[in-house]
Amino acid sequence: MQAVQFSDHGDRDVIEYGEYETLEPGRNEVRIDIHAGALNHLDIWTRRGLPGVELKMPHIPGSDGAGIVESTGEAVSRFEPGDKVAVSAGVSCGECEFCRDGEPTLCVNYHLLGEHVRGVHAEQAVVPADNLVTVPDHVDWETAAAAPLVFQTAWRMLLTRGELKPGESVLVLGASGGVGHAAVQIADYAGAEVYATASTDKKLEYAREIGADHVINYEDDDFVAQISEKTGKRGVDMVVDHVGAATWQDSLKSLARGGRVVTCGATTGGQPETNIDRIFWNQLEVIGSTMATPGEVDDVLELVWDGTFEPRIRATLPMSETAKAHRRLEERNGFGKVVVIPDERYDR
């Protein structure tokens, strides 16, 4: 089969699209004919090399994908050939104390398809049956591939971990990215007053279309000053910050007393300076979140499948042009997700 892959960490030129061994599903696994995959920033970090993560090379990246079940392992009963499915990338052991307590995202052995082990950006993918969700027939392939990771992540961040309530105010940084544009929609759905930042006026127009009440161009304006002005110097109840070092101090400054910042990542670096005085004096909360539980995945994807939430697609490319897809993310071109399709299925 043909697959996106790399044998060394590095820049975009390490990415290849070529022959990879055909994989057989194990006892609890499913083999899928992939119709579409979608990129996330973690694909960039994986390609560059994550500290402490040793990959089996060549590595197939990709945590988001959707397709048709081609075959199943002997112990699989939930799916059968012909089923339309999407991948939910989080893998837990099912045996540790956190898994037993119903918190698999806290699993001591938690890892992600595509980031820590072989991913799904290929003509076919073999994944655990527990990592698949059923996709209704009316949902197109790009939506099915683009939705799972970012919408489950944003859903858990805002509603489960952040406990966002109707009438509260929330600032979403980087609203044009995958998690950001999902967070804007979820915050609006929850009845919050939504502030959103992006780097261009065009991106801000999109943010308004999907639910932002107030928008700030962070290239032109200091978003801390704008939040202060727009909230009468109060600040917001919650900041969604997946940017990291570049925005961390300003995220804390944007919070009202008793507010909280929720984070699921750090695209500009994971070791920012932190003003601890501000945290304890203003009684702020710093809340981390990763992926979602199976129940949370089902809840949010039901709202994607029925059209309540919309994964925006900034570009669709053949898998052989995955390096260009990485460039789209790295250069922050466009709004929403980048989708890649196996070359044999790409007919644009």
Residue 153 contacts residue 289 (beta carbons within 8 Å)? yes
Strand partners, 340: 37, 317
Give a yes or no: residue 296 inside a domain.
no
Strand partners, 3: 18, 122
pLDDT in tens, 2-49: 999 999 999 999 999 999 999 999 999 999 999 999 999 999 999 999
pLDDT in tens, 59-106: 999 999 999 999 999 999 999 999 999 999 999 999 999 999 989 999
Strand partners, 318: 341
307 contacts: CB under 8 Å, gap ≥ 6 = none
* Of 285, 309, 310, nearest in space to 161 by CA: 285
**Does residue 213 share a domain with residue 102?**
no
Residue 142 contacts residue 36 (beta carbons within 8 Å)? yes
| CATH number of the domain enclosing 108 | 3.90.180.10
**Does residue 89 share a domain with residue 215?**
no
pLDDT-flagged residues of the chain (< 70): none
Q: In which domain, by residue range, is 210 found? A: 151-288
First to last CA, the chain: 21
Give a yes or no: residue 234 inside a domain.
yes
Give a yes or no: residue 305 inside a domain.
no
* Of 187, 132, 177, 115, nearest in space to 155 by CA: 187
Helix 178-189 vs helix 148-155: crossing angle, to nearest 10: 50
Q: Is the dihedral of CA 124, 178, 153, 303 positive or negative?
A: negative
Give a yes or no: residue 298 inside a domain.
no
Dist CA 259 CA 98 (whole Å):
27
The total of other beta-carbon atoms located within 10 Å of residue 166's CB is 8
What pLDDT does 180 receive? 94
Residue 98 contacts residue 107 (beta carbons within 8 Å)? yes
Give a yes or no: residue 163 inside a domain.
yes
**Does residue 227 share a domain with residue 182?**
yes
**Does residue 95 share a domain with residue 231?**
no
Give a yes or no: residue 190 inside a domain.
yes
